[in-house]
Amino acid sequence: MKTNLFSLEGKVALVTGASRGLGQAMALGLAAAGADIAALDRAECNDTCAQVQALGRRYHNILCDLSSATPDDMQGYVAEVVQALGRLDILLNNAGIIRRAPIFEFSAADWNDVLQVNLTAVFYLSQAAAKQMAAQGGGKIINIASMLSFQGGVLVPSYTAAKSGVAGLTKALANELAAHHINVNAIAPGYMATDNTAPLRADPVRNKAILERIPAGRWGDPTDLQGVAVFLAAPASDYMNGAVVPVDGGWLCR
C-alpha cells in the first residue's frame, strides 16, 4: 500500500503565472503540501515569494514574458530551475491571457497573442520540462484548461481555440510521456473570481446568468483549485494520464 499519497516533500514545482489569482493559489497549495516553488511570471512575485517562504519552502523567481519566449528560452528556464533548486518534478502551466471582441472585429493580434501564450508556450515549456523529468525518472505536468475546452463561449474565439488545444495537447503528451513515468493531466476551472472574469462579474446581466447556471450558486475562488492541483502533482494520481478534470461548481452538469 502506498503511503504519503498527497505529500510533495522533496519535490520542486515550476508554476507559470504565479503572481496572483489561480497561479498564486495553486503555487501556495503545492508549497503547503511540501514542494519548493519556482515561479515564472512577467511580473515580480514578491507576495507569492513571501507566502511560500512563510510555509518553510524554498522559492525562485523567473521573470519572463511568454508572449515572446522562444523554445530555446524554455530550455533555459528549466535549466535555471534545476540550477537554483536542484531538480524539476512538477510543471503547472497556468499562465494565460484573454481578449474579447465581436467576431467581425477580432484582430490578428488578439488571435496570435492568445494562441502564443495559452497554447504554444504550454507546448514548448512542457517539452523542455519533460526532457528534464525523463532524465530524473518521472514527473508531473498539469495544464490549465477551461470550460471553453468543452464549449464555444462568446466573443473569445482565440481563447476557446487555445483552451480546446490545451485539452487535446494534454492527451497527446500523456500518450508519449507515460512511458517515461511522466503524468500529464489538466484542470478545467469553471467561472472563477479572477481579474480575467472581472468584466463578467461587473455586468449585472451576465453575472446573474452565470450564477443561475452554477449548481453551487457562487463563483469559484482560486483556492478551490488547490486540492486538485496537489492531487495531480502527488503520488495519489500516479495512474491518471490525459484526464481533463472540471472544477466548476457543477457548471457542465446543467
Domain that holds residue 143: 12-194+223-246
Look up cell 511568454; give the residue: 66
Look up cell 504565479; give the residue: 18
Choice among 59, 77, 124, 159 that is catalytic: 159
- pLDDT value of position 242: 98
- pLDDT value of position 17: 97
Encode the chain in three state secondary structure: CCCCCCCCCCCEEEEECCCCHHHHHHHHHHHHCCCEEEEEECCCCHHHHHHHHHCCCCEEEEECCCCCCCHHHHHHHHHHHHHHHCCCCEEEECCCCCCCCCHHHCCHHHHHHHHHHHHHHHHHHHHHHHHHHHHHCCEEEEEECCHHHCCCCCCCHHHHHHHHHHHHHHHHHHHHHHHHCEEEEEEEECCECCHHHHHHHHCHHHHHHHHHHCCCCCCECHHHHHHHHHHHHCHHHCCCCCCEEEECCCHHHC
- pLDDT value of position 16: 98
The verdict on pTM exceeding 0.95 is yes
CB 226 within 8 A of CB 232: no
Say if 251 falls within a structural domain: no
Say if 231 falls within a structural domain: yes
- pLDDT value of position 3: 81
Say if 117 falls within a structural domain: yes
- pLDDT value of position 196: 82
List the CATH number of the domain containing 121: 3.40.50.720
Say if 3 falls within a structural domain: no
Domain count, the chain: 1
- pLDDT value of position 234: 98
Say if 201 falls within a structural domain: no
Say if 133 falls within a structural domain: yes
Along the 254 residues of the chain, how does pLDDT read in single tens digits? 778 999 999 999 999 999 999 999 999 999 999 999 999 999 989 999 999 999 999 999 999 999 999 999 999 999 999 999 999 999 999 999 999 999 999 999 999 999 999 999 999 999 999 999 999 999 999 999 999 999 999 999 999 999 999 999 999 999 999 999 999 999 999 999 998 899 989 999 999 999 999 999 999 999 999 999 999 999 999 999 999 999 999 999 99
The Cα angle at residue 50 between residues 14 and 218, in degrees rounded to 5 = 75
Say if 83 falls within a structural domain: yes
- pLDDT value of position 165: 98
Say if 38 falls within a structural domain: yes
59 is known as an active-site residue: no
N-to-C CA span, the chain: 38
Beta pairing partners, 187: 144, 245
